[in-house]
Amino acid sequence: MHYLDNAATTAVLPEAAEAAMHAMRTCFGNPSSLHKMGIDASHLLEDSRKTVASALGCLPEETYFTSCGTESTNISLRGVAHLNRHQKGRIITTEIEHAATLNTCKQLAAEGFDVVYLAPDATGHVTPDALEKALTEDTVLLSCQLVNNEIGTVQPVAELGAMLKAKAPRALFHIDAVQGLARVKLTPKKWHCDLMSVSGHKIGAPKGIGALYVKKGLRLPPLMFGGGQEKGMRPGTEPLPNIAAFAKACEIRMAHFDEDYQHVQALADYLHQQVAALLRDAAFNGVGDIPHVVNLSLPGCKSEVMLRVLESDEVYVSSGSACSKGKQSGVLKALGLPKTRTDSALRVSFCPSNTTDDVDALLAAAQKGRKMLVR
């Protein structure tokens, strides 16, 4: 099997699975209980919080556990909207965000907020100049991705954050760092960031665990109400096995950050070289600033058909965001690419366990598919 769809999800690391098993079988007390089993669980919870906070570049008290990146983003956007529910105001995001942001903004627009979508340039970046033109005195929020999940571009969040705070100092800045965790060093304070979403299953933790950075001193209303866990930000008994696994995945990935990046960079370089040699009419989409995500189109080869061909050789990639489920990519459309490119796009996404054998298998299957589909 050759799995190259790591931007959708990753395999759970063995060490993370072991950490989850330990929490399930040995440290299974409720962290809110006052007896020894509860206290032991609480210690594991807080130790895990410290580890995840380190990966997020923030303090443990600024780190809240959630179920996923989507929930973290909803808490952020809807929380800021609730703080401004009487005056409403402007919310700024981009045309190339994940559905968690776009669909939440769509709902907030229906509730009376003035939502503005910034268009990227041809490379897939949103410029500070574009943001400056959209800023108004009543701007309450800017939300944008750190790393785009389809084309791998890294937004200039430091410049965007500085522009926001200079022109609209009362506005809050939310960053969707789901694809950035363990791929880009996270420094929310340097980015003037108030809120930041991440997800565990993108780095070798199980599905069902995420985290939210909330700048110290900022209080948002919760989406749910309950027993007050996570300081009331996200009530409900903490999923300690998933949290422990998330912490272990963060520990491993951050300990090997530099070597992982160099390894994935070598794989991406090899892919580009082999595509140039073997699939000369292929076109790369966007300018991937990180090597983990490579998007390319094979003219004349419909994405959904090529995916089946690749799957028959046990090669797994995607045609875009897993959450879009086969719909035309809004990201590639926003770049102004013609339909022939968007209809034939494939997203290849690497993790540190991938090898050149995976790339070779992809290219061999793609060549076979092209012979079948292009007459």
| Cβ contacts of 135 within 8 Å, gap of 6 or more | 90, 92, 163, 164, 167, 168, 171
Q: Are 195 and 233 in contact (CB under 8 A)?
A: no
Q: Domain segments of the chain: what residues?
A: 2-10+257-373, 14-254
Q: To 10 degrees, the CA torsion angle through 336, 338, 343, 348? A: -50
What's residue 371's pLDDT? 87
pLDDT value at residue 287? 83
Residue the block writes with tokens 């012979």: 371
pLDDT one-digit tens code per residue, 167-208? 999 999 999 999 999 999 999 999 999 999 999 999 999 999
pTM beyond 0.85:
yes
* Mean pLDDT, rounded, for 72-93: 96
The residue with tokens 């340039």 is 121
| Alpha helices, DSSP H, located in 223-345 | 240-255, 257-278, 303-312, 330-334, 339-342
In the predicted model, is pLDDT for residue 320 greater than 90? no
- DSSP state letters, 156-195: -HHHHHHHHHHH-TT-EEEEE-TTTTTTS---TTTTT-SE
What's the confidence (pLDDT) of residue 327? Answer: 66
pLDDT for residue 78 = 97
Q: Any idea of the CA torsion for 68, 152, 180, 307, to the nearest 10 degrees?
A: 40
pLDDT averaged over every residue in the chain: 95
**Would you say residue 325 has pLDDT above 70?**
no
Tell me which H or E stretch contains 236. none
Q: Are strands 195-199 and 210-214 parallel, antiparallel or unpaired?
A: antiparallel
Q: HSE of 201 in the Cβ direction (CA atoms, 13 Å)?
A: 13
Are residues 128 and 135 in contact, defined by beta-carbon separation less than 8 angstroms? no
Q: Which CATH number fits domain 14-254: 3.10.580.10, 3.30.70.20, 3.40.640.10, 2.130.10.30?
A: 3.40.640.10
pLDDT one-digit tens code per residue, 182-193: 999 999 999 999
pLDDT in the model for residue 62: 98
For position 42, what pLDDT does the model report?
95
Active-site amino acid positions: 323
pLDDT at 326: 54
pLDDT in tens, 119-154: 999 999 999 999 999 999 999 999 999 999 999 999
Which region among 106-115, 230-239, 307-316 has the lowest average model confidence (pLDDT)? 230-239
Question: CA–CA distance from 358 to each of 41, 202, 285, 351, 368 (Å)?
Answer: 40, 19, 21, 11, 15
Query: Is-same-fold flag (2-10+257-373; 14-254)?
Result: no
- For 2-10+257-373, CATH number out of 3.40.50.2300, 3.40.50.980, 3.30.56.10, 3.90.1150.10 equals 3.90.1150.10
pLDDT over threshold 90, residue 79: yes
